[in-house]
Amino acid sequence: MEISFKDITRIIKKNAVFILVLSFLFAAVSFFVTTFFIPKTYTSNVKLYVETSYKNQSAYEDYQSVNYAKNLVLTYIELLDSNSFYNQISEELKEKYTASQLKSMIKFESIEDTEVFKATITSDSPAESKNIGDAIAKIAPKTIANVKDNAKLKIVDEATLPKAPASPSVSKNVIIAFAAGLIIALIVSFIRDFIDVKIKYNEEMTTVLDLPLLAAIPDFEYFSNTKAANKKLNEYSSDK
């Protein structure tokens, strides 16, 4: 079965109300579910700086020190992303969380090939995200100093209290749901139209049946409405 632009336009116009209602219904359901049923998570970040002694040196020595610090970032991340470090954090938080729980809540990552890296804490409570971040800022420099001589970590940004949830995104989910409802409504409309075997317009008689069109029954409702409208227009004009 071939489908033309005329068919597409006709189907969309015919099912416009159904398409809009279903799309907005999907969006409304998504908004309700996202707002009231999906658990919210909050994130807090701690930025740490790898300090090296490259002051008062030559430019080449400074360059070497900076590259050395960048390489140390990955080493420090591995040292902190360990069970021993998470156990220390657990003790600092009075064992409110186990080491495995903290490991799933904390993520370390480098920042664009710099001497800085960050710890991102994800929790279902904004206050807990900040508390864990504060514990990291307190324990991390000590842990690195104990593992490696002359190693220093400085806190660039301390953990802040999240003001809004990081996920789920209400607007994103609503847009996705609206698009999904729109696509489903269009698919249903086209399938329903293809299943309907009735002739929609005169040209289909010659296309489908390969027969010439000799006569057609006019749309009496259209002509009656037009006649009534013209009658009222004439009465209005005569009154003027």
- Structural domain harbouring 89: 42-157
**Cα(166)–Cα(174) distance, integer angstroms:** 16
Q: Are residues 128 and 67 part of one domain? A: yes
**Domain with 66 in it: what CATH number?**
3.30.70.1130
What pTM value is reported for the model?
A: 0.70
On whether both 14 and 91 belong to a single domain, the answer is no
Domain boundary residue, one of 103, 132, 157: 157
Return the pLDDT at 186. 95
Whether residues 50 and 123 fall in one domain: yes
Query: Are residues 152 and 116 part of one domain?
Result: yes
Domain ends where: 157, 183, 210? 157
Band of the pLDDT at 236, cuts 50, 70, 90? very low
Are residues 18 and 57 located together in one domain of the fold? no
Report d(CA 67, CA 154) in Å as an integer.
18
Rounded distance, CA 60 to CA 6, Å?
Answer: 72
**Do residue 190 and residue 176 come from a single domain?**
yes
pLDDT score, position 240? 52
d(CA 115, CA 51): 8
Residue 93 located in a structural domain:
yes
The 3-state secondary structure of 201-225 reads CCHHHHHHCCCCCCCCCCCHHHHHH
Instruction: Assess whether 135 and 68 both reside in one domain.
Output: yes
Q: Name all contacts of 161-164 with Cβ < 8 Å and 24+ positions apart.
A: 161/44, 161/126, 161/127, 161/129, 161/130, 162/42, 162/43, 162/44, 162/126, 162/129, 162/130, 163/126
* pLDDT tens for each residue of 95-148: 999 999 999 999 999 988 788 999 999 999 999 999 999 999 999 999 988 877
Tell me 39's DSSP state.
P
Q: Are residues 67 and 147 in the same domain?
A: yes
Number of separate helices (H) and strands (E) present in the chain? 9, 4
Are 52 and 68 a contacting pair, CB within 8 Å? yes
- Tell me the two tokens of residue 171: 């607007």
Q: How many domains is the chain partitioned into structurally?
A: 2
Shared domain for 188 and 147, answered yes or no, is no
Do 99 and 24 share a domain, yes or no?
Answer: no
Do 24 and 107 lie in one domain? The reply is no
